[in-house]
């Protein structure tokens, strides 16, 4: 049975999806037994023609809801009509591939395969307690499950199709404000930890520069760990472009300039959070 890589895109990131995301995917990943789907949230006709020409399957997305939430709903809607074994659910506008990841479809096939964030952040505290995404008993239930656990990033998720469908159904039921940014990742963490069947991957499979504990280097546009190991999936994470640590992010020798001021400011913030958590956990 075939496997699937599914992402989403709108007109804003259409050029990046074609020239960087897809280009790096085809250059580095063995796609012999893998379909590639892009959920369309407003791609131009030009983008759609270029993607179709490269045998990418386009699937029309839902008009309502915030993209971070509806991408799960639409992925489930597509998967319910097809037969795949494993799926890689992955971000589109801030990810490139630098090495083959196809072998991960064949390992730990009954479990979620995900990467935890490498430093301490206040993500759970922020999106569970402050933003009002969840109330009452549900908020307490979520907090009990995720408290003191590493934050799982939802930008790269390897999973058996059945489990991703189950998680998407839980999201539909539990996310009250589907127009808001953030509750999707809370439910990803809640569901995976509550389900209990998961495998943490090496950070090179969802390498987020700002939260990588041991740092990184960039040589001729290519990202490496400090120990010299090439990163497989690079994730220039950040809610908005301003907060992403890499400028001119993409696939190519001339790209990927570090925003040193922003990067070090974020690293300092994480150290403060670490100290804060240590003090108040004693």
* Residue range 100-110: mean pLDDT, rounded: 98
Q: How confident is the model at residue 282 (pLDDT cuts 50, 70, 90)?
A: very low
**Could you state, in order of their start, the residue ranges of all structural domains in the chain?**
3-205, 207-281
Evaluate if residue 242 carries a pLDDT over 60.
no
Q: Please give the angle made by the CA atoms of 156, 75 and 42, to the nearest 5 degrees.
A: 95
Lowest-confidence region among 73-82, 87-96, 217-226, 260-269 = 260-269
Evaluate if residue 122 carries a pLDDT over 80.
no
**Per-residue confidence (pLDDT) for residue 279, from 0 to 100:** 53
* Residue range 183-210: mean pLDDT, rounded: 94
Pick the CATH number of 3-205 from 3.40.640.10, 3.30.200.20, 3.30.830.10, 3.90.550.10: 3.90.550.10
* Residue range 171-184: mean pLDDT, rounded: 88
Evaluate if residue 73 carries a pLDDT over 90.
yes
**Per-residue confidence (pLDDT) for residue 75, from 0 to 100:** 98
* Cβ within 8 Å of residue 173, ≥6 positions away: none
Q: How confident is the model at residue 245 (pLDDT cuts 50, 70, 90)?
A: confident
φ/ψ (deg, to 5) at 188: -55, -50
Q: Tell me: the pLDDT tens digits for 77-89?
A: 999 999 999 999 9
- Average pLDDT taken over every residue of the chain: 89
Q: Tell me: the pLDDT tens digits for 6-16?
A: 999 999 999 99
Evaluate if residue 44 carries a pLDDT over 70.
yes
Closest-CA residue to 118 (of 222, 215, 21): 215
**Per-residue confidence (pLDDT) for residue 132, from 0 to 100:** 64
Evaluate if residue 59 carries a pLDDT over 50.
yes
* Residue range 86-94: mean pLDDT, rounded: 97
* Residue range 236-263: mean pLDDT, rounded: 84
Q: How confident is the model at residue 148 (pLDDT cuts 50, 70, 90)?
A: confident
* Residue range 217-226: mean pLDDT, rounded: 96
**Per-residue confidence (pLDDT) for residue 139, from 0 to 100:** 85
Evaluate if residue 277 carries a pLDDT over 90.
no
Place of tokens 């950070």: 203
| Count of CA atoms in the C-beta half-sphere (13 A) of 194 | 15
User: HEC states along the chain?
Assistant: CCEEEEEEECHHHHHHHHHHHHHHHHHHCCCCCEEEEEEECCCCHHHHHHHHHCCCEEEECCCCCCHHHHHHHHHHHHHCCCCCCEEEEECCCCEEECCCCHHHHHCCCCCEEECECCCCCCHHHHHHHHCCCCCHHHHHHHHHHHCCCCCECCCEEEEEHHHHHHHHHHHHHHCCCCCCCCHHHHHHHHHHHHHCCEEECCHHHCEEHHHCCCCEEEECCEEEECCCCECCEEECCCCCHHHCCEECCCCCCCCCEECHHHHHHHHHHHHHHHHHHHHHHC
* Cβ within 8 Å of residue 147, ≥6 positions away: 124
């Amino acid at each position: 049975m075939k496997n699937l890589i599914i992402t989403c895109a709108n007109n804003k990131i259409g050029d990046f999806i074609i020239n960087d995301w897809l280009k790096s995917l085809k250059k580095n990943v063995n796609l012999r037994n893998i379909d590639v789907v892009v959920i369309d949230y407003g791609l131009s006709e030009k983008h759609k023609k270029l993607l179709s020409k490269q045998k990418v399957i386009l699937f029309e997305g839902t008009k309502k809801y915030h993209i971070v939430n509806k991408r799960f709903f639409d992925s489930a809607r597509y998967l319910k009509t097809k037969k795949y074994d494993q799926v890689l659910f992955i971000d589109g506008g801030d990810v490139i591939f630098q090495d083959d990841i196809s072998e991960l479809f064949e390992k730990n096939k009954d479990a979620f395969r995900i990467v935890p964030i490498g430093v301490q952040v206040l993500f759970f505290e922020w999106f569970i307690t402050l933003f009002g995404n969840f109330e009452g008993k549900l908020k307490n239930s979520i907090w009990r499950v995720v408290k003191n656990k590493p934050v799982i990033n939802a930008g790269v998720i390897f999973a058996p199709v059945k489990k991703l469908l189950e998680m998407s159904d839980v999201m539909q039921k539990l996310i009250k404000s589907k127009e808001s940014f953030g509750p999707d990742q809370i439910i990803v963490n809640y569901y995976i930890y509550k389900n209990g069947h998961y495998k943490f991957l090496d950070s090179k499979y969802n390498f987020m520069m700002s939260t990588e504990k041991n740092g990184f280097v960039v040589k001729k546009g290519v990202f490496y760990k400090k120990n010299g190991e090439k990163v497989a999936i690079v994730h220039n994470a950040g809610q908005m472009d301003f907060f992403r640590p890499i400028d001119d992010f993409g696939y190519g020798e001339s790209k990927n300039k570090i925003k040193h001021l922003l990067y070090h400011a974020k690293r300092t913030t994480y150290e403060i959070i670490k100290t804060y958590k240590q003090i108040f956990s004693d």
